[in-house]
Chains A and B, each alone.
Chain A
Amino acid sequence: MAPARTPLSLYVHWPYCSFLCRFCAFSKARVPAGGVDHALITRALLAELRTSLAPHSRDKELRSIYFGGGTPSLAQPAHVAQIIEQASRLVPLAASAEITLESNPTSAETDKMAAFKAAGITRYSIGIQTLDDGVLQRVGRLHSGAEALAAANRAASLFPGHVSLDMMFGFESQTVDQWQRELETVLAHANGHLSLYQLTVEPGTPLFRDIRAQRVKRNPDDTLALMYETAVALCRSRGLAHYEVSNYAASPESQSVHNIGYWQGRQWIGIGPSAHSRFIDPASGTCLRTVRIPDIQRWVRSCLEHGHGTAKSETVDDAEARQEAVVFGLRMLDGLSNARFMRTGCVSSGALSLAEYLRVNQVQRYLRDGYLRSSGRLDHLAPTERGLQVIDSILLDILP
């Protein structure tokens, strides 16, 4: 029997958007005036895919593929199919592999949904953000709430049990009541999965500048906390379990395999401009973190010339890997098992247990106060609902 293959995820970054949201801090660009040169981008993606996946073909299997962006629903389904097909030829796809595509709910993109399914997409994620047409317009999104719900319905019929809807809360002047009503509507259209994000003001975004210039007001922290608590309670009452800070699923099968990979420290390869990767280099055995060139034109040129557009590659040492394992593991209500922690990514020095690594007296205090829970002598560590809500503060205390 062949030895078990190590799971691997693939992230594909499609860099273009038809509109730019004022809060977005991701790497993206507006579709150029003459339209996107789909063939060129695909050629570059395929070249990078080949270079990056080939070294992993012998001992890995693909658990998930994720098309993110940007707005990958602007891509042509045929090209998406080509990428999936090429990837699976390089590294075998696991039987139940999850292949997600992110989309915006404009009617044009909704029309392509069936074609994407035919191309191999198994899970569909729709960025609704809000149903309030006024807010949608103010943040720069060119679709309506009604279009979003129509897209959600269409996705539910094509990808039953495998649809994710993205929502945001904390927009200027939004009240807790408004948020609750909006969420109720969305819950009625949900099919398996919800991602509910607090609006985050990232430096460098137009929203950030608006707030700095006091053109836009920020919601008070306590209001945001209340909105978050409302979301947790409401989802639970509708049978959607909270499993990560901002993610809710109807059943374990509806959870995002790809994203759980990030939180559990699975290796992943990212292709496309500005995409990150984190994997154990088969040649050297060290853990690497790489970033691709962010500028689209330069990235394309580099891919076509050198077969990849890697801008930066650095090793992740054990200390970093362990820190990441805890920081990301504790974002999930399931938490982090000691067994998984001891296997952490790239341990090249001896294995360390959670009890040896963390500041135990601090952990115990949080256990006692009901912020964390554990089984055995830290065989497993997880945040409680209450703890998850302030996990960033807790981490500062428990990490060495």
Chain B
Amino acid sequence: MEWKGSGNNDLEAAVSMGIEKFILSPFVNFVPQPFASYIVQAHGFASTIAKTVMDTLCMNNYTGGFIDTNYMVPLPASKDTVFMYPSPQIAKGMLKACRLFQKQKGLQKRRKRPGRKTPASRMRRAWKHPLVGCALPCSQRYKTRQSMATACGYLRKASMKSGGYATKADGLGAEIDITGYTPDRIRNFSIIAHIDHGKSTLADRLLETTGVITKSGKNKQVLDKLKVERERGITVKAQSASMFCEHDGRKYLVNLIDTPGHVDFSYEVSRSLAACQGTILLVDAAQGIQAQTVANFYLAFGEGLAVIPMLNKVDLPTAEPDRAALQIESAFEIDAANIVHLSAKTGLGIDRVLPSVIERIPAPSGSIDAPFKALLFDTWYDKYVGVVCLMAIKDGAVRRGDRVVSMHSGTRYEVMEVGIMHPEQRPATQLQVGQVGYVVCNMKSVAEAHVGDTFHKDKFPVVPLPGFAPAKSMVFAGVFPLDAGEFDKLNESIQKLTLNDSSVAVHKETSAALGQGWRLGFLGTLHMDVFRQRLEEEYDASVLVTAPTVPYRVQYKDGTSKYIQTPADFPTAIEIQDKVDAVMEPFVLATLIFPEQYLGAMLELCTMHRGDIHTHTYLDESRVMLKCRMPTAEMVTDFYDQLKSRSQGFASFDYEDNGYNESDLVKMEVLLNGEAVDALAAVMHRDNVATVGRTMAKRLKDVIRRQLFDIIIQTAANGKVVARETVKQLRKNVTAKCYGGDISRKMKLLNKQKEGKKRMKKIGRVELPQEAFLSVMTGSKE
């Protein structure tokens, strides 16, 4: 049974009726009663409700706590549960509710043990239930420091389990006052570094030294919240965190805006940089300058930010700080004499980081007296409050109840909550000039939040900030549900995921072979991979992703031009002859940095991928920086893997967009028993057709299973067959022995095979396993 409701009475009614699933709608006037207790039994939904209750409590200036015994499994109180019993009345109320619950559920009432009627023992009994929430007004705060500390400790533990929600009560729900932090006491900075140079670890240490998170040794990349981020050790989505610290006897509010490290996400980096006045350029002392160090430095330099170089990992035996410093000097022409040496892992030198930031990064400009003006530089979607906007306040101030206007759309919004990231959302009384924080303003969809937008107060228009160009898709890929029946489910998942990742371009697509699906545009292949992984992990969707292609441009003789996002749309040979003026393909300017001994291999790699070497310069006596212009299409296949294997992992790589060039492109089709499979088609340079055609046919032969007829695989370009392979007919497939005892096993096997068959895509009568689509995707040159 399910019950939807919005308030106190509904919730209580649901509980008294023994409703198993309760959906508490957010944004409604659910006002917790002081001293009231809520028990919600919610199969599988316990934590959702807990979060909703907590949110509502916090938004209404109540403190609260909940006990989430993890779905009917009672856990030992000391470890995984959180409880607060600020006053005996509350505990009494909760216990009463628990008893009611027990009675309704027909649970055995536990025998009273005399002499143990402390609130704690009562609470322990309450843990037998899945979830208990309680509310109390702020005036009823904890009596002593001791109990407060205990409660906060428990909350922190719970926060780790509940994804951070419990911490909201950490500050006892009160809004903090940061109006004392005028621009001269504020520093906004980011950290830029090559992937794996320790950016997120440094962020962890800084958060620890300023007491934002506790030193537990367990803080691993606190700002990397996505599972895929932690797994892959990369940052995908920029996060920010505010810290308070003291320097020379004055208190400062320092805002750290974390940036992603991988090449694909340089768009995110530039967004984050627009909210800062300075940046730490973090370089691994053992590895020296890498390609992204260079790319990110020029991004920051272009924004006119103060750059403070720092050397990380100086404790490693292989560290060569002096050499790295020299490289910094020669590559960026900045003085590296007083460079900070640190080890984010061990904490060495961390105490020098924030002082440097405060001394060397300028305070934000702007005036508190000018009308409110803010730059929206990041957003995410929260299922309880809607869109959360991260803003850098350029002038004036904003507080709850203000009416703000988006300059992009002209829409008016009422501000519901402002605050800082500490590291979770923490409400503040007001955000003012120079500060960086979040604003919740009743936005329902991320599409409304235009990153780069300028906000001002209603009736006080301002001159808009420059803003950013929208993210540009570098690669496109088809995404299809494995089972056509899952289209709707996948549609929903993709929508949810793109709510938080507006850089993904979404178009519907229909393939003759794969049915209905989408053509998605990504910032790069890693971005694509991350998206697929998040889709599979967070939304439990099984998808088929086709080979990535780049946006080709076709210029017609009649003067029009068209972007080709899928090989299916690519003009045929005859069309090209008659109607097309030129076929253009996108190029990138790639930067490669590697030790000198790999120069030969790298030059060969670039040439092999139709690269045009621009320059190669020596950063120091042994490191080379190579600039090369190459087609984007070459980069999206196996370039990166090849780069790593040919340089034994020592080369690093970054790229930027570099326009279009005319190119001799052809579409290569794959035919199975004479039938063209649109989802396997690919556009490529004429020179590659022969090799790619042969490898593709061979790969397909390896992954296609034998069927009851011969399967002829052909790859063809411009109507001419390039390669041909045959998957021979299956001669025998029958279980030799099948008697009484074999029946169950045989039937199990059969049903498993039937399941497997469902996951195959049928092209005519030919069954194609998913690997077939992957085989086209991974690399094209042997």
Seen from chain A, the residues whose Cβ lies within 8 Å of a Cβ on chain B are 11, 26-27, 197-200, 221-222, 224-226, 228, 245-246, 259, 262-263, 268, 270, 274-278, 289, 320, 323-324, 327-328, 331, 369, 371, 388-396, 399
Taking CB as reference atom, which chain A residue is nearest B753? A396
User: Residue among B732, B738, B743 with the most chain A CB within 10 A?
Assistant: B732
Contact A276 B757 (CB under 8 A): no
Residues in B neighbouring A225, C-beta threshold 8 A:
731-732
Residues in B neighbouring A200, C-beta threshold 8 A:
735-737
Interface residue B600 (Cβ < 8 Å from any Cβ of A): no
Could you show 24 A-B contacts with beta carbons less than 8 Å apart? A27-B741, A197-B737, A200-B735, A221-B731, A225-B731, A245-B736, A246-B737, A262-B738, A262-B739, A262-B740, A262-B743, A263-B738, A270-B741, A274-B741, A276-B743, A277-B740, A320-B747, A327-B747, A331-B738, A389-B734, A390-B732, A390-B733, A396-B753, A399-B750
In Å, the complex CA distance between A225 and B733 comes to 9
Interface residue B744 (Cβ < 8 Å from any Cβ of A): yes
Residues in B neighbouring A262, C-beta threshold 8 A:
738-740, 743
Select one of B732, B739, B744 contacting A221, CB under 8 A: B732
Interface residue B270 (Cβ < 8 Å from any Cβ of A): no
Q: A224-B732, A371-B708 are in contact. Are A323 and B740 (CB under 8 A)?
A: no
User: Residue among A225, A246, A390 with the most chain B CB within 10 A?
Assistant: A390
A179 to chain B, nearest CB (A): 14
Interface residue B647 (Cβ < 8 Å from any Cβ of A): no
Interface residue B730 (Cβ < 8 Å from any Cβ of A): yes
A290 to chain B, nearest CB (A): 11
Residues in B neighbouring A324, C-beta threshold 8 A:
743, 747
Residues in B neighbouring A259, C-beta threshold 8 A:
739
Residues in A neighbouring B542, C-beta threshold 8 A:
none
Q: A221-B731, A390-B733, A392-B733 are in contact. Are A245 and B743 (CB under 8 A)?
A: no
Residues in A neighbouring B732, C-beta threshold 8 A:
221, 224-225, 228, 389-390
Contact A393 B707 (CB under 8 A): yes
Contact B743 A222 (CB under 8 A): no
Select one of A27, A390, A399 contacting B734, CB under 8 A: A390
Taking CB as reference atom, which chain B residue is nearest A400? B754
Contact B730 A390 (CB under 8 A): yes
Residues in A neighbouring B736, C-beta threshold 8 A:
197-200, 245-246
Residues in B neighbouring A221, C-beta threshold 8 A:
731-732
Select one of B707, B740, B750 contacting A276, CB under 8 A: B740
Interface residue B614 (Cβ < 8 Å from any Cβ of A): no
In Å, the complex CA distance between A199 and B736 comes to 8
Interface residue B247 (Cβ < 8 Å from any Cβ of A): no
Taking CB as reference atom, which chain A residue is nearest B728? A222
Contact B743 A396 (CB under 8 A): no
Contact A395 B731 (CB under 8 A): no
In Å, the complex CA distance between A252 and B84 comes to 82
Select one of A226, A276, A371, A395 contacting B744, CB under 8 A: A276
Interface residue B103 (Cβ < 8 Å from any Cβ of A): no
Known: A275-B740, A276-B743, A289-B743. 7 other contacts (CB 8 A): A200-B736, A226-B731, A262-B738, A323-B747, A389-B732, A389-B733, A392-B734
In Å, the complex CA distance between A323 and B744 comes to 11
In Å, the complex CA distance between A277 and B739 comes to 11
Interface residue B43 (Cβ < 8 Å from any Cβ of A): no
Tell me the residues in window 725-773 of chain B with beta carbons closer than 8 Å to chain A beta carbons: 728, 730-741, 743-744, 746-747, 750, 753-754, 757
A309 to chain B, nearest CB (A): 15
Select one of B735, B740, B747 contacting A268, CB under 8 A: B740
Contact B743 A278 (CB under 8 A): yes
Residues in B neighbouring A246, C-beta threshold 8 A:
736-737
B536 to chain A, nearest CB (A): 26
In Å, the complex CA distance between A140 and B380 comes to 67
In Å, the complex CA distance between A224 and B732 comes to 8
Q: A371-B708, A396-B757 are in contact. Are A391 and B743 (CB under 8 A)?
A: no
In Å, the complex CA distance between A394 and B750 comes to 11
In Å, the complex CA distance between A166 and B738 comes to 14
Residues in B neighbouring A26, C-beta threshold 8 A:
741
Closest 8 CB pairs of A and B: A225-B731, A225-B732, A198-B736, A276-B741, A392-B733, A197-B736, A390-B733, A393-B733
Select one of B730, B738, B747, B754 contacting A245, CB under 8 A: B738
B759 to chain A, nearest CB (A): 13
Q: A11-B740, A197-B736 are in contact. Are A393 and B730 (CB under 8 A)?
A: yes
A-facing mask of B141-171, CB < 8 A → 1, else 0? 0000000000000000000000000000000
Contact A275 B738 (CB under 8 A): no
Residues in A neighbouring B750, C-beta threshold 8 A:
323, 327, 392, 395-396, 399
In Å, the complex CA distance between A30 and B117 comes to 64
A-facing mask of B612-632, CB < 8 A → 1, else 0? 000000000000000000000
Residues in B neighbouring A278, C-beta threshold 8 A:
740, 743
In Å, the complex CA distance between A109 and B301 comes to 93
Tell me the residues in window 682-726 of chain B with beta carbons closer than 8 Å to chain A beta carbons: 707-708
In Å, the complex CA distance between A276 and B757 comes to 29
Select one of B734, B743, B747 contacting A388, CB under 8 A: B734
Contact A389 B731 (CB under 8 A): yes
Residues in A neighbouring B730, C-beta threshold 8 A:
390, 393
A189 to chain B, nearest CB (A): 22
Contact B741 A275 (CB under 8 A): yes
Residues in A neighbouring B740, C-beta threshold 8 A:
11, 262, 268, 270, 275-278
Tell me the residues in window 164-210 of chain B with beta carbons closer than 8 Å to chain A beta carbons: none
A200 to chain B, nearest CB (A): 5
In Å, the complex CA distance between A274 and B742 comes to 12
Residues in B neighbouring A27, C-beta threshold 8 A:
741
A72 to chain B, nearest CB (A): 14
Taking CB as reference atom, which chain B residue is nearest A245? B734
Residues in A neighbouring B708, C-beta threshold 8 A:
369, 371, 390, 393-394
Residues in B neighbouring A289, C-beta threshold 8 A:
743-744
Taking CB as reference atom, which chain B residue is nearest A26? B741
Taking CB as reference atom, which chain B residue is nearest A371? B708
Residues in A neighbouring B738, C-beta threshold 8 A:
245, 262-263, 328, 331
A-facing mask of B114-133, CB < 8 A → 1, else 0? 00000000000000000000
In Å, the complex CA distance between A6 and B214 comes to 76
Taking CB as reference atom, which chain A residue is nearest B707? A393
A391 to chain B, nearest CB (A): 5
In Å, the complex CA distance between A252 and B435 comes to 94
Tell me the residues in window 52-110 of chain B with beta carbons closer than 8 Å to chain A beta carbons: none
B769 to chain A, nearest CB (A): 14
B763 to chain A, nearest CB (A): 16
Residues in B neighbouring A390, C-beta threshold 8 A:
708, 730-734
Residues in A neighbouring B753, C-beta threshold 8 A:
392, 396
Residues in A neighbouring B707, C-beta threshold 8 A:
393
Q: A200-B736, A392-B735 are in contact. Are A328 and B754 (CB under 8 A)?
A: no
Residues in A neighbouring B754, C-beta threshold 8 A:
396, 399
In Å, the complex CA distance between A222 and B706 comes to 12
Taking CB as reference atom, which chain B residue is nearest A312? B744
Contact A222 B733 (CB under 8 A): no
Taking CB as reference atom, which chain B residue is nearest A366? B708
Taking CB as reference atom, which chain A residue is nearest B739? A262
B11 to chain A, nearest CB (A): 42
A312 to chain B, nearest CB (A): 10
Taking CB as reference atom, which chain B residue is nearest A390? B733
Taking CB as reference atom, which chain A residue is nearest B756? A396
B246 to chain A, nearest CB (A): 65
User: Residue among B728, B736, B746 with the most chain A CB within 10 A?
Assistant: B736
In Å, the complex CA distance between A395 and B736 comes to 15
In Å, the complex CA distance between A274 and B745 comes to 14
Contact A327 B741 (CB under 8 A): no
Residues in B neighbouring A270, C-beta threshold 8 A:
740-741
Residues in A neighbouring B737, C-beta threshold 8 A:
197, 200, 246
In Å, the complex CA distance between A54 and B739 comes to 24
In Å, the complex CA distance between A320 and B747 comes to 9
Residues in A neighbouring B743, C-beta threshold 8 A:
262, 276, 278, 289, 324, 328
